[in-house]
Amino acid sequence: MITGKTLSKKVILIGNFGVGKTSLTRQFVYQKFSDEYLTTLGVKIDKKIIGIGNDLVNLMIWDIAGEVSQTRVSTSYYLGSNGVIYVFDLSRPSTYEQMEADIEYVQKLLPNAPILRVANKADLLTEEQIANLSVPYDFLCSAKTSQNVEETFLKLTQAMLQ
């Protein structure tokens, strides 16, 4: 039984087109995956309530379309965010070549928000290919197999509560 408080936290998922932001969200919120690619237009908002210790946390998950670049995304989507998941596609280096610059930009907008780097689509690479990657990440995920999806959101939620 939850006896603590109920908190609301805004989480944004950012990254390039087609990296799996929507798929990660769908897997976390609905435990569903689809191979069909539907591009997100603007922002899609989902909600999930999770228990952390004695508290309930109402996560408002904003799946933001497209790129992080200051010229292509309205910063109004970022405002009020408590945590950030930066998603990139392990099988497409172009999706993480700008990651550090993107994260630096987001840190200026949200200086107190924890940011997790999520390497998605782990199911598309062999263990050897993954071992040879030189890109930093906090979680190796697969929205398709659900590998580390829940763990990613739980870790971010815990970081937001500290």
Condensed to tens digits (0 to 9), the pLDDT of residues 29-54 reads 999 988 776 667 678 899 999 999 89
Q: Return all residues near 54 (Cβ < 8 A) that are at least 6 apart.
A: 2, 3, 4
Domain ranges across the chain: 6-161
Enter the pTM of the model: 0.92
Condensed to tens digits (0 to 9), the pLDDT of residues 100-156 reads 999 999 999 999 999 999 999 999 999 999 999 999 999 999 999 999 999 999 999
The architecture CATH gives domain 6-161 = 3-Layer(aba) Sandwich (3.40)
Question: Which has the closest alpha carbon to 55: 3, 105, 9, 11?
Answer: 3
Note the helical H segments in the chain: 21-30, 99-109, 127-131, 149-161
